[in-house]
Amino acid sequence: MEVVILSCLDTLRAYYTDDKTQACMSVDGITPSEDAPFVQAKKCIVCPQNQWGSRITPNGKRAKACGEFAYLELLAADDVCYTYKMRVPPTSLRAVREYQTSLTSRGHSLKSVVTKVDTHSQETHDLLSFKVVRFLEDGELENLIELSQLVSSSFEPTDGYTH
């Protein structure tokens, strides 16, 4: 899929109990959010849920019970009617961070390019990859955002019931 990445929050964390209820979360990856229902520790770094081995995966590997992830806000390059949110799993955090770093080191931002987001199946999970398709022209991002805000309903207006 080809998209413009409007924003990237890549320091998010969440811990879920065995019954899949969110117990604790962090927006900055340093301290728990004030909205967290069951704070596990004062700092994420010392939290027992953030230690390797606090969770065992279905294939028997050690992992952290508190998972890191990112949210990307996306604008599809070929359908600007909507913005989308994508949750980037822990296995693909390195890819999104390296992609962002490679762009910023060359003086560009995620918003200044059309990005191809692809999935690659592994034995136990999928990995995301990010690749520049093209650079946006001056004013093109603003035009795309403006178009995305002009979404019209696909339903005909009516004065009541139609039969």
Residue 151: what pLDDT? 54
Residue 163: what pLDDT? 46
pLDDT digits over 108-162, tens only?
999 999 999 999 988 877 899 999 999 988 887 777 777 766 654 555 555 555 5
pLDDT digits over 51-85, tens only?
999 999 888 989 999 999 999 999 888 877 778 89
For the chain, the domains span 2-148
Looking at this protein, which amino acid is placed at residue 122?
Q
Which tokens belong to 25?
Answer: 């979360």
pLDDT digits over 6-60, tens only?
999 999 999 998 878 999 999 999 999 999 999 999 999 999 999 999 999 888 9
Residues 6+ apart with CB under 8 A from 84: 3, 73, 74, 75, 76
**Which residue is it, tokens 């069951």?**
38
Contact of 2 with 78, CB cutoff 8 Å: yes
Q: How far is CA 114 from CA 6, 71, 108, in A?
A: 10, 17, 12
7 three-class SS: strand
Which tokens belong to 13?
Answer: 């964390």
